[in-house]
Amino acid sequence: MTEQLRLMAVHAHPDDESSKGAATMAKYVSEGVDVLVATCTGGERGSILNPKLQGDTYIEEHIHEVRSREMDEARQILGVKQAWLGFVDSGLPEGDPLPPLPEGCFALVDVDEAAGALVKLIREFRPHVITTYDENGGYPHPDHIQTHKISMVAFEAAGDPDRYPGAGAPWTPLKLYYNQGFNRARTVALHEALLSRGLESPYGEWLERWKSFDRPERSITTHVPCAEYFEIRDKALLAHATQIDPDGAWFHVPMDIQKEVWPTEDYELARSLVDTSLPEDDLFAGVREAG
C-alpha cells in the first residue's frame, strides 16, 4: 500500500469517539494515518451526566450547541477529522414498559435510507478500515444499535455502483471492526490488579452485572498497543464536560496500572477483504501489504 492509509470510526454520539478507540486513533494519527470520525447524531437528547454542570440552565437549553463545541475540542485533541451525519439523537428510553422512541429520531429512520448518508461519506473519504459497534451496540442504546445496522449496510454497499448511485463514486473498504474495549477479560484484569495493590476497584458492580447478561463472550481478534496515548484519550474524554465527571469512575484506575496491565485497545474483526492472521496487533494488518 503506497497511498496514505485512512481509518473511519463510526459513532452514535459526540463523546463515543473518546470513550471507544480514542487512543488507537491518536496512535494512528501520529503515524500519518488519515482518521475521520463519523458522528451519527448530535447528542441532542443526552442528559447532563457531570454532576458539576447539572442545573446549568444555559447548557440544558443549548445542549446541542454545547455538545458540538465539546466534539470540536475533542477532535482537535485527538488530531482527527470529524463529520456529522445529521441524524437526531433518539435518547435512551427508560422504564417498564419502555416508552416509544420520539418521532423523527435516528433509531426510527429506515436503515437503508440512513445508510445512504454513511455511504456518501465513505465514498468521499475512502477509508481502508472502518470501526463501529457490534449488533448489541456495545450496550443496548437504540442509537448504538442503529449505528451498527447502517455501518453493516454501508460497508457492503459503498463499493457497489448499483447501490446509492447518487452518493458518489464507489469505494470498497477492506476491513470492518467492532469496538470491544469494554471486554470482560480487560475488566477482570484491571479489577484484580487494583485489589492486589490494596486499591478500591470501580469494576465490582460491573462484573456482578456481567453475570446476568445472557450473551456469549465476544471474540477479540485484535489488540492495538496504544498505552502511550492513554493520556490523550482521557484529555479528549474530559473535553466532553457535560458527559464526563472528572472525579468519576472513568478515572479511578491509576494510569501506570492501566499501562502495565492492559496496554491495548481491543477489537473484533467482523469483515475482511484482505488476508490477515489472527490475532492481530494492527487494524491495517493485510491492508499495508495489499497492492
The secondary structure of residue 282, as a DSSP letter, is -
CA-nearest of 116, 138, 167, 172 to 290 is: 172
Helices 111-125 and 142-157: crossing angle, nearest 10°? 60
Q: Is 144 labelled as part of a ligand binding site?
A: yes
Pairing of the two strands 222-225 and 264-272: antiparallel
What string of DSSP letters covers 220-275? --EEEE-GGGHHHHHHHHHH-TTT--TTSGGG-S-HHHHHHH--EEEEEEEEESS-
How many residues in the chain? 291
Burial zone of 83 (CB within 10 Å; 0-12 exposed, 13-18 middle, 19+ buried): middle
Helices (H) and strands (E) in the chain, counts: 10, 7
Binding residues: 13, 16, 144
Binding residues for Zn(2+): 13, 16, 144
